[in-house]
Amino acid sequence: MGGRPPRAVPGGGRAAYPMVGACDDDLMQRRRGTTPRAPHPAARSLADDLRHRTDEQLTTLLLARPDLARPTPADVVALAARATTRTSVQRALERLDRGQLQTVEALVVAAEPNRAGTAAVEDVAALLGGDPTEALDRLWSVGLVWWTSSGPHPVRAVTEVLGPHPGGLGLPAGEVSSEYAAHTPPLPDDLPALLAEAPVAARAILDTLTWGPPIGAVPPSGPAHQGASWLVTHGLCAPSGIGHITLVREVGLALRGGRLHREPALQAPALTDAQVDPAVADRVAGAGARDLLGLLDQLGDLWTALPPRVLRSGALGVRDLAGLARSLDVETAQAGWLAEVALAAGLIADDGELTPAFSPTPEFDVWRSRSAGARWATVAQAWWESPRAAYLVGTAPNGGATVGALGPEVRWPAVRGVRADVLGELAGLPAGTAPSAESVIERLLWRRPLGDRRALTDAAEAVLREAEWLGARALGTLTSLGRALVDRVPTAELAAAADATLPASVDHVLLQADLTAIAPGPLDGALGRFMRLVSDVESRGGATVLRLSGESVRRALDTGWTADEVLDTLRDSSRTPVPQPLDYLVRDVARRHGQTRVGAATAYIRSDDEAVLAALLADRSLARAVLRRIAPTVLVSQADPATLVEVLRAGGYSPARESFDGTVVVERPATRRARPPVARPAPEPTLSPVDAALVRSVVATLRNAPERPVAGAAPPVTLSGSPQETSALLRQAVSDSLAVWIGYADSNGRTARHLVRPVRIDGGRVYAVSGESDSEQLFMLHRITGATTG
């Protein structure tokens, strides 16, 4: 391959690319030997930087990076060593927004040519195309950057975590293999002319690699192979493994016009919003919250009468979930969420029986006896703090098994952070501001650039939807209850706010001639339970429409109510007279109720009216009951009594069950409650949150820690100890994050003393942070002549 010879560089070095975009004034300033004053005190290391921070600044650091506070570091040097570990830095980077992450990438790129690892603020600003001051301040406050007299210095682990291609740039020219050292990149002034001469295939490759990823595969032959060869020959690209090339970093920056990112995002994207009346939103949210309480009440009643079984996986069956959705008249997704919220609030649980089922707990009875506000506060806080993502129910993440409601696969602790971010974004807006869901999600993705885009989008959409169901969000805006929830107000205050927002309960209904009853508000207590028993919800809203039917009246009669008791209770509870059609309905159902009685023979049917039994025998829909007359007024069946009753009811008859002594059996649902666990697996370990109180105690410990000797100073006592004692002391130092003095023999037999903080001991090797450095060093255990804590 032929090509233009590389241009000579004065001094015999390679072609150097100045930082594109630096203004002339800045260049003149640097030539005069002056630099802008650093916004933070200059330090020699991160430990030195932390040592000079105020208590408030250390508190900010520990609250932003809670992993640094537990266990409590022994002193500032231990804190610095922990803050520069790869795992901790990775967590800190994941908490950065897109603007801060772009600033970190620009800082690493700008510091690359400087062996000291320090970048000039002007170079960072040129790469970003904007002012990085605010982002740099944030990076300093969270301990990812410390300042020298020359500028900001990223901690070493940042470069490792970002990888070899920060900002999608390729290999720096200084790291190109010596085999291709002759192919130096062209100078910036020569680049336009060289690109004009480039073959079409070479130009296409450059267009593909410019904005990353900077590595591309090269075919074994053809125009693309020839274009890649031309790029390598002219120093624009360098080989990167077999069959691959990488765009030289300096060339990539020049092609980008000196900018590191195609779309700089130092500022959060704007929210597309509308304005609504906060009072109207609160009223809508209050109605939704009341509906939530009613649905949870209904769920508890349904699972009291017929608890669904727990599958072997620990989840709720798909059919049981679909049945719950039909009974509550809600979508399956909302039914799954209701079950998950009830589980999180402790209202339902696995009863732990031989045949386990999900049953209401004793806490459910206590909960339903409280005020509406207290009930809502309990449920809302349980949802806010729950590590379970109900929206995963019915999905198959990563192509695996379908996630079942109430099962272990629903657990995803990260969803708590998504709730806090999404609702926190809404809480930061003025009351009544209703941003679109799309713009809120875009803002969330900007705040979490390293997160999985699809997973975050699904989670954010679910949080917004669930907040509507809960009453924390209405008409697109965060309600007063939602703001109180985000602010983590005490439970009593949250309950009081909910009592003031939720519609007050009513103590009456309005009976209509079309066999409906209108509840002009929420029904609580005994009246609410009676109306749920004797009627079915037809529609919800500002007023609830209840439908009374033969089936619902029979349900009340089955539990022991008489026709007169039902009518008297309706009369006492209604502001309107009992309509004549309703009176006829109740009395007609009561008249027919129990005319046919079922007992066990395996099962028998008896009636004083022989014509009724004749009709039963002639009814083909009852053929599966295999009825046989054994007396003029008695029939028997092979079915058990419960099944026979259901068959007759399905055929349009209204039988009543009869006991052995001939009395009518009153059908009341068995009240099942999950027993408190006696011998259960140990609960998951929980940690107290890293809050302001804990952080203040950590800062006090750091301030009270004894001053470490300066590296190189003689220890106060003589180093001594057998190899066993030395090893034990070093392991203790690892466990307690202590600094120790060690004597260390080099390969020439000379012994020197080092002040180190051991991090780990592995295979005869001691990995330790030496002095005030923030990087680990390796010491061979057999060369350590002694140790002491001084």
Give the model confidence (pLDDT) of 599-657 as tens digits.
656 788 888 888 888 888 888 888 888 888 888 888 888 888 888 888 888 888 888 88
3-state SS assignment for residue 631: strand
pLDDT band at 710 (very low <50, low <70, confident <90, very high): very low
Pick the more confident residue, 234 or 426.
426
Q: For the packed helices 332-344 and 278-305, what is the interaxial angle rounded to 10 degrees?
A: 80
Residue 6 has pLDDT above 70, yes or no: no
Query: Which residues on neighbouring strands pair with residue 21, listed in sequence order?
Result: none
CA 221/CA 470 separation, integer angstroms: 62
Residue 660 has pLDDT above 90, yes or no: no
pLDDT band at 114 (very low <50, low <70, confident <90, very high): low
CA 73/CA 82 separation, integer angstroms: 8
Give all strands (DSSP E) within 569-712, no chain letters.
596-599, 603-606, 628-631, 634-637, 655-657
Q: Which two three-digit tokens encode residue 299?
A: 């769920």
Query: Which residues on neighbouring strands pair with residue 603, listed in sequence order?
Result: 637
Q: How many CB atoms lie within 10 A of CB 21?
A: 18
CA 312/CA 355 separation, integer angstroms: 10
CATH code at 709-789: 2.30.30.100
Cα 597 to Cα 155, 563, 587, 591, 662: the distances in Å are: 84, 18, 18, 13, 9
Give mean pLDDT, residues 285-300: 91
Residue range 64-80, pLDDT digits in tens:
998 888 788 888 888 88
- Give CA torsion, residues 247, 251, 257, 260, to 10 deg: 50
CA 352/CA 331 separation, integer angstroms: 29
By the 8 A CB rule, do 575 and 540 touch? no
pLDDT at 751: 81
Q: Which residues contact 502 (CB under 8 A, 6 or more apart)?
A: 286, 289, 290, 372, 373, 376, 522
Pick the more confident residue, 19 or 413.
413
Q: Which two three-digit tokens encode residue 117?
A: 């690892």
Cα 725 to Cα 424, 458, 674, 732, 758: the distances in Å are: 54, 56, 56, 10, 15
SS3 of 49-70: HHHCCCHHHHHHHHHHCHHHCC
CA 408/CA 640 separation, integer angstroms: 38
Rank 392-401, 485-494, 675-684 by mean pLDDT and report only the highest: 485-494
Cis check: omega of the bond before 71, within 30 degrees of 0: yes
By the 8 A CB rule, do 21 and 258 touch? yes
Instruction: Show the CA angle centred on residue 696, arms to residues 685 and 56, nearest 5°.
Output: 130
3-state SS assignment for residue 415: helix
CA 708/CA 492 separation, integer angstroms: 48
3-state SS assignment for residue 762: strand
Burial of 120 by CB count in 10 Å (0-12 exposed, 13-18 middle, 19+ buried)?
Answer: buried
pLDDT band at 227 (very low <50, low <70, confident <90, very high): very high
3-state SS assignment for residue 757: strand
Residue range 152-197, pLDDT digits in tens:
999 888 888 888 888 889 888 877 776 665 566 777 778 888 888 8
Q: How many CB atoms lie within 10 A of CB 132?
A: 26
Q: Which residues contact 521 (CB under 8 A, 6 or more apart)?
A: 503, 504, 505, 506, 543
Q: Which residues contact 215 (CB under 8 A, 6 or more apart)?
A: 165, 170, 209, 240, 244, 245, 246, 247
**pLDDT over 70 percentage in the chain:** 88
CA 789/CA 467 separation, integer angstroms: 55
Q: How many CB atoms lie within 10 A of CB 269?
A: 12
Query: Which residues on neighbouring strands pair with residue 762, listed in sequence order?
Result: 765
Burial of 687 by CB count in 10 Å (0-12 exposed, 13-18 middle, 19+ buried)?
Answer: exposed
CA 452/CA 445 separation, integer angstroms: 9
DSSP state of 462: H
pLDDT at 558: 84
pLDDT-wise least confident of 104-118, 256-270, 624-638: 104-118
Average pLDDT of every residue of the chain: 83
Q: What is the residue extent of each domain of the chain?
A: 14-166, 178-255, 274-501, 510-592, 603-650, 709-789
Residue 57 has pLDDT above 60, yes or no: yes
Pick the more confident residue, 505 or 328.
328
Q: Where are the alpha helices (DSSP H) in 400-452?
A: 414-427, 437-447
Q: Which residues contact 85 (CB under 8 A, 6 or more apart)?
A: 157
Cα 588 to Cα 557, 563, 591, 658, 786: the distances in Å are: 12, 9, 5, 20, 99
Residue range 509-555, pLDDT digits in tens:
899 988 888 888 888 778 888 888 888 888 877 788 888 888 888 88
pLDDT at 183: 60
CA 649/CA 595 separation, integer angstroms: 12
Going by their DSSP bridges, the two strands 634-637 and 628-631 should be labelled as antiparallel
655 phi, psi to nearest 5 deg: -80, 160
Give mean pLDDT, residues 560-585: 89
pLDDT at 13: 35
- Transcribe 542-582 into DSSP letters: SSEEEE--HHHHHHHHHTT--HHHHHHHHHHHBSSPPPHHH
Cα 398 to Cα 147, 333, 392, 401, 453: the distances in Å are: 44, 20, 12, 9, 15
**pLDDT over 90 percentage in the chain:** 33
Residue 299 has pLDDT above 90, yes or no: yes
pLDDT band at 446 (very low <50, low <70, confident <90, very high): very high
By the 8 A CB rule, do 234 and 4 touch? yes
